[in-house]
Amino acid sequence: MLHVTAMHIYLDYNATTPVDREVLEAMLPYFAENFGNASSIHSYGQRGRSAVDAARDSVAELIGAKPAEIVFTSGGTEADNLALFGSVAASNQSRKHIITTAIEHPAVLNAAQALEQQGIEVTYVSVGSDGIVDPQDIRRALRPETILISVMHANNELGTIQPIEKIGRIAAEADVYFHCDAVQSAGKVPLDVESLGVNLLSISAHKIYGPKGVGALYVRAGTSIEPQFHGGHHERDRRPGTENVPGIVGFGKAAELAEINREANDAGIEILRDRLEEALTSVLSAVRVNGNRSRRVANTTNLAFAGAGGEALLIALDLQGISCSTGAACSSGAVEPSHVLLAMGLSSDEARSSLRFSLGLGTTSDEIDRAIAIIPPTVERLRALSPRALSTVHAR
């Protein structure tokens, strides 16, 4: 399972995960031996088709959907874009409003901004200081012309779990489509499209130990979306293009393993995450956990290290073999503080001093012990630097 270099401590599983050995083995025959185009009538094609069908069953099973409701895409980003652009394009022209939140992944936020350029009005509902959206705020944002509500399940930076079931009921009452980006909750919490009450739901293989470049959009039977690409009749006319057979096979295997192993994996990972969090918040002064600590996935902790620059800390930790993330976006050369932390009400300085540690199946107790030994002195060293010295580190 562990493909990360032995000495290195990879704590960035929310960014991506290594491909599970079993997943890799399931994929390998579909590159060169069983290379058929799943749309071909001959036996090569049929082998590809049946592999794609089996994977579709596993992915559907992971989220409680019917196989026909799964549309394979090139990843979570495409699934999010297909959900937003596809449902707006399929809607009645007089309806011109969508609702989303201020803490969505850029795949939703930037798609919503692009829709604004096309004349769609977008309400960005904010979150509480705990990083959780209030369903009543979603209800208040509804208008007669609302087409779609899009709210993520687990936030990628904080791990906080949004009240999707409640928002699903609000969307159903208002007869508005409901999309959920479940990329970070898949494999971490039970997912059931019926109880969540969603019309559309995005997932991605590389966040659950599958390959990069493959994902899926769940499209509830009866929910209409316009395809965003034009080509053949693949994926029941919802997403054309020759199927990425090895990728889809890998996604299917990853979904199967996630379904079987989720509870056991979660329990072990939560113990390690809590140990790391406890140690850092008790050994160091002025360290705060960002986001609700009980309503979150088991593998994520986001910590504000007051007085230390997050970017400088990230680089200093990387030099000592620890990989983590700031959640900040690097746009046009300048590092912007995380939009998620700002939406929670953190100051720009607090947001800039925050780091996300996300654990996974390869994380060992020994790695957490080493992280606990390395991180505090590194934070103290950076805190001792003057703000001027800190800004020099930033500038490099």
Active site residues: 330
d(CA 186, CA 255): 9
In degrees, rounded to 5, the angle at the alpha carbon of residue 1 between the alpha carbons of residues 213 and 295 is: 70
The torsion angles phi and psi of 229, rounded to 5 degrees, stand at -115, 160
User: What's the token pair of residue 82?
Assistant: 């297909």
d(CA 343, CA 61): 34
Residue 275 CB-density burial (10 A; 0-12 exposed, 13-18 middle, 19+ buried): middle
Closer residue to ligand PLP in complex, CB, 48/187: 187
Max Cα separation, the chain?
70
Closer residue to ligand PLP in complex, CB, 76/197: 76
Token pair 């700002």 is found at: 342
- Closest distance of CB 215 from ligand PLP, Å: 5
Closer residue to ligand PLP in complex, CB, 76/309: 76
Q: Supply the DSSP symbol for 18.
A: P
Binding site for ligand PLP (CB under 6 A): 75-77, 80, 105, 107, 152, 156, 181, 183-184, 204, 206-207, 215
Closer residue to ligand PLP in complex, CB, 96/239: 239
Cα–Cα distances (Å) from 345 to 297, 327, 341, in that order, read 21, 16, 7
- Closest distance of CB 143 from ligand PLP, Å: 26
- Closest distance of CB 285 from ligand PLP, Å: 31
Token pair 């309503």 is found at: 295
- Closest distance of CB 393 from ligand PLP, Å: 28
Residues forming beta bridges with residue 73, ordered by sequence position: 215
Q: Name the closest residue to ligand PLP (Cβ).
A: 76
The torsion angles phi and psi of 334, rounded to 5 degrees, stand at -100, 140
Alpha carbon 197 to its chain centroid, in Å, reads: 19
Closer residue to ligand PLP in complex, CB, 30/72: 72
- Closest distance of CB 370 from ligand PLP, Å: 26
